[in-house]
């Protein structure tokens, strides 16, 4: 099949690898970029997919909690430029959305939009000339909930502890914002993700001339390392790397029940356009 130059460019931006290596990977995967990345990782050409090209959209993260009602939510609301993200009209709209969602935690974003938010959103779009998206929300309704939003409003966290502890809750929330764990405990890692990681690690070590039992130990060791890196309780505490989160919460006889971490734009593919090509296309039209 013919591999498009734009797909090669996209894969290069995601991996940082050479053009021909990316082209060969796409040919082998029949144009499937995600499969090409997985195959490159199997061949040890790539340790991890770059995320920077997937976080290009702008916007803000907001949180709100009320301990008396066990109600806590986190929201992501997007716009097209950072300039608009700092605009007072946009800020006012995001606060309205936050209040509306907080007052009706049982309702989905779709229901809330149909009820009251869509008209406000469309009005703001017409006023500022950019698309606005109320992208996602999540809530926690058990335990003692702490929240943290980074100074740039691009990363936010809500975390639930078994017992009330304001200082510990804030420290854990800040750590999650900085270290981006996937789960609380290693056993919480999704089976599909774990299976895929094992497949990749197995492919990386399978060419070794070491005995089978040594290879299996290598696979097991790397899987354990992966689980430690993505599990909150096994991560070194950002404020004191000599101590793991597990030790920190045990000091206070506490437990992390759950958490949600949002980062503006994560997981969204954004098409990157070449400015010269864009200008030329406009001239041609």
**What pLDDT, in 10s, does the model give residues 23-41?**
888 999 999 988 988 888 7
Q: What is the CATH number of domain 1-54?
A: 1.10.8.10
Q: How far is CA 167 from CA 145, 209, 248, in A?
A: 12, 52, 12
Which class would CATH give 57-141? alpha beta
Write down the pLDDT at residue 18: 67
Q: Has residue 6 got a pLDDT over 80?
A: yes
* Cα 266 to Cα 50, 51, 251, 261, distances in angstroms: 12, 8, 34, 11
Residues of the chain with CATH 1.10.8.10: 1-54
Share of the chain above pLDDT 90, in %: 51
Find the mean pLDDT for residues 186-203: 91
pLDDT for res 272: 57
> Which position has the higher pLDDT, 115 or 174?
174
Residue 90 burial (CB count, 10 A):
22
pLDDT at 148 over 90: yes
> Percent of the chain having pLDDT more than 70?
88
In the chain, the DSSP E strands lie at 58-66, 71-79, 133-140, 144-149, 155-161, 236-237, 240-244, 256-263
Q: Which residue has the tokens 């779709």?
A: 110
pTM: 0.74
CA-to-CA dists, residue 87 to 82, 91, 173, 233, 268, angstroms? 9, 6, 27, 38, 23
Q: How many CB atoms lie within 10 A of CB 271?
A: 8
pLDDT-derived band at 271, boundaries 50, 70, 90? low
- CATH 3.30.479.20 range(s) for the chain read 57-141
Q: Is the pLDDT of residue 277 over 70?
A: no
Handedness of CA 197, 198, 199, 204 (dihedral sign): positive
């Amino acid at each position: 099949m013919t591999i498009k130059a734009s797909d090669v460019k996209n894969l290069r931006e995601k991996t940082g690898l050479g053009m021909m290596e990316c082209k060969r990977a796409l040919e082998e995967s029949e144009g499937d970029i995600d499969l090409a990345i997985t195959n490159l990782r199997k061949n040890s050409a790539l340790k991890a997919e770059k995320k920077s090209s997937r976080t290009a959209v702008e916007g803000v993260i907001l949180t709100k909690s009320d301990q008396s009602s066990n109600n806590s939510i986190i929201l992501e609301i997007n716009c097209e430029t950072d300039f608009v993200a700092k605009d007072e009209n946009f800020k006012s709209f995001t606060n309205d959305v936050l209040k509306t969602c907080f007052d009706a935690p049982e309702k989905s974003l779709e229901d809330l939009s149909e009820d009251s938010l869509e008209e406000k959103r469309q009005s703001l779009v017409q006023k500022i000339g950019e698309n606005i998206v109320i992208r996602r929300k999540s809530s926690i309704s058990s335990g003692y909930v702490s929240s943290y939003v980074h100074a740039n409003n691009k990363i936010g966290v809500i975390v639930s502890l078994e017992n009330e502890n304001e200082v510990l809750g804030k420290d854990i929330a800040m750590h999650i914002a900085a270290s981006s764990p996937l789960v609380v405990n290693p056993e919480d890692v999704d089976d599909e993700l774990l299976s895929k990681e094992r497949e990749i690690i197995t492919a990386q070590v399978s060419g070794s001339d070491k005995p089978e039992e040594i290879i299996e130990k290598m696979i097991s060791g790397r899987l354990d390392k992966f689980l430690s890196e993505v599990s909150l309780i096994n991560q070194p505490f950002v404020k004191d790397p000599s101590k793991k989160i597990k030790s920190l919460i045990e000091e206070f006889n506490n437990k992390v029940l759950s958490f949600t971490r949002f980062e503006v734009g994560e997981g969204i593919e954004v098409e990157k356009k070449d400015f010269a090509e864009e200008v030329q296309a406009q001239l041609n039209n």
